[in-house]
């Protein structure tokens, strides 16, 4: 069985004081078993968050990583630096990075390689825009985005990484994909992984992201190929985030 994972992507939100309050609330209510839970604060808050998480089961992830190891790359943060301050994971290829900051499929694949080289596990974010869905291109788009990474790193290079399917039209809009819509794409993603290697298909966790809330999480997570969630807005409220974590824990059997 795949252990569900719920990751909170805080995006560009928070402060030292607000983060501490949020973390204390999350830590106090974490399910005892049945789910892994991760938070992904902005880069400057990773080190203080690592200190707050010490001794808890909460995992720490970054929101992005540089393709570069070190050198004259002003503003960048390397995977080794993420590891150094306690990150076990990093998001890569989030749709906001792709659409607002120009991360191409090749850049995402290079970030994957950089993260793995420093033993940071990538969470590869993929998903179609509304126009792409309306044009009937959903499967082709996610296939291309995942394939760009898979073809570059191969089965062994991918093993252990996580995929997050986030339809762009569902992010921050309150318009969640229906469990049927999400499951359909998750099944296609798993089939693509399984075609490369049966174990990769079986073992890779595929998270859903896009307007997940306490009220819709259980229905989404009950679907066969949905192994948890990548949560934006609802991860900024401890009670809402914990309700989502509980929903995921309830599907672990
Ligand atoms: P929302 O949960 O706010 O829709 O954001 C989803 C997301 O982009 C998580 O990475």
Question: Span 55-60, mean pLDDT?
Answer: 97
Residue extents of the structural domains in the chain: 5-24+36-49+83-249
- How far is 103 from 107, CA to CA, in rounded Å? 6
Cα 73 from chain centroid? 25
Output the pTM of the full model: 0.97
Phi first, then psi, for residue 11 (nearest 5°) are: 50, -145
Q: What is the pLDDT of residue 175?
A: 87
Q: Burial-class residue 12 by CB neighbours within 10 Å (0-12, 13-18, 19+).
A: exposed
253: pLDDT strictly greater than 90: no
Q: What is the pLDDT of residue 1?
A: 80
- Separation between Cα atoms, residue 190 and residue 211, nearest integer Å: 22
- Using left for φ > 0, alpha for ψ between -120 and 50, and beta otherwise, residue 75 falls in left
pLDDT of 95-146, one tens digit each?
999 999 999 999 999 999 999 999 999 999 999 999 999 999 999 999 999 9
Could you give the CA distance from residue 152 to residue 110 in angstroms, rounded to a whole number? 9
Beta strand pairing status for 36-40 and 89-92? Answer: unpaired
Specify whether the CB–CB gap between 209 and 230 falls below 8 A: yes
CATH code for the part of the protein at 5-24+36-49+83-249:
3.20.20.70
Report CA(168)–ligand 1 centroid distance (Å): 9
The atom number, within ligand 1, closest to the CA of 209 reads 6
Q: Is 166 a catalytic residue?
A: yes
Query: Which mutation among 64, 91, 230 tests ligand 1's pocket best, with the greatest number of atoms within 8 A of CB?
Result: 230
**Secondary structure of residue 172 in the 3-state scheme:** coil
Could you report how far apart the first and last alpha carbons of the chain are, in Å?
A: 8
pLDDT tens digit string along 168-177?
999 988 888 9
For the segment 7-32, the average pLDDT, to the nearest whole number, is: 98
CA distance 248 to 245: 5
Q: What percent of the chain has pLDDT over 90?
A: 96
> Is 54's pLDDT higher than 90?
yes
Residues of the chain with pLDDT > 70: what percent? 99
- Distance between alpha carbon 51 and the CA centroid of its chain, in Å? 22
DSSP characters over 69-91: SSSS-TT---HHHHHHTT--EEE
Q: Which atom of ligand 1 is nearest to the CA of 170?
A: 4
What pLDDT is attached to residue 226?
Answer: 98
Distance 209 CA to ligand 1 centre (A): 6
């Amino acid at each position: 069985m795949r252990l569900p994972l719920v990751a909170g992507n805080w995006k560009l939100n928070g402060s030292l004081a607000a983060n501490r309050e949020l973390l204390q609330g999350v830590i106090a209510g974490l399910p005892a078993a049945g789910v892994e839970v991760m938070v992904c604060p902005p880069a400057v808050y990773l080190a203080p968050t690592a200190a707050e998480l010490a001794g808890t089961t909460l995992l720490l992830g970054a929101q992005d990583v540089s393709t570069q190891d070190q050198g004259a790359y002003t503003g960048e943060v390397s995977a080794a630096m993420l590891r150094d301050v306690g990150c076990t994971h990093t998001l890569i290829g989030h749709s906001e990075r792709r659409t607002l900051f120009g991360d191409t499929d090749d850049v995402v694949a290079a970030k994957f390689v950089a993260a793995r080289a420093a033993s940071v596990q990538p969470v590869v974010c993929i998903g179609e825009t509304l126009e792409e869905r309306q044009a009937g291109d959903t499967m082709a788009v996610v296939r291309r985005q995942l394939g760009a990474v898979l073809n570059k790193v191969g089965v062994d290079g991918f093993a252990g990484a996580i995929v997050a399917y986030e339809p762009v039209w569902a992010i921050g809009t309150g318009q969640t994909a229906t469990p049927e819509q999400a499951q359909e794409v998750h099944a296609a993603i798993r089939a693509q992984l399984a075609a490369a290697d049966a174990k990769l298909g079986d073992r890779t966790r595929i998270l859903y992201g896009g307007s997940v809330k306490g009220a819709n999480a259980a229905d989404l997570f009950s679907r066969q190929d949905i192994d948890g969630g990548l949560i934006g807005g609802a991860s900024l409220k401890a009670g809402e985030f914990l309700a989502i974590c509980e929903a995921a824990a309830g599907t672990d059997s």
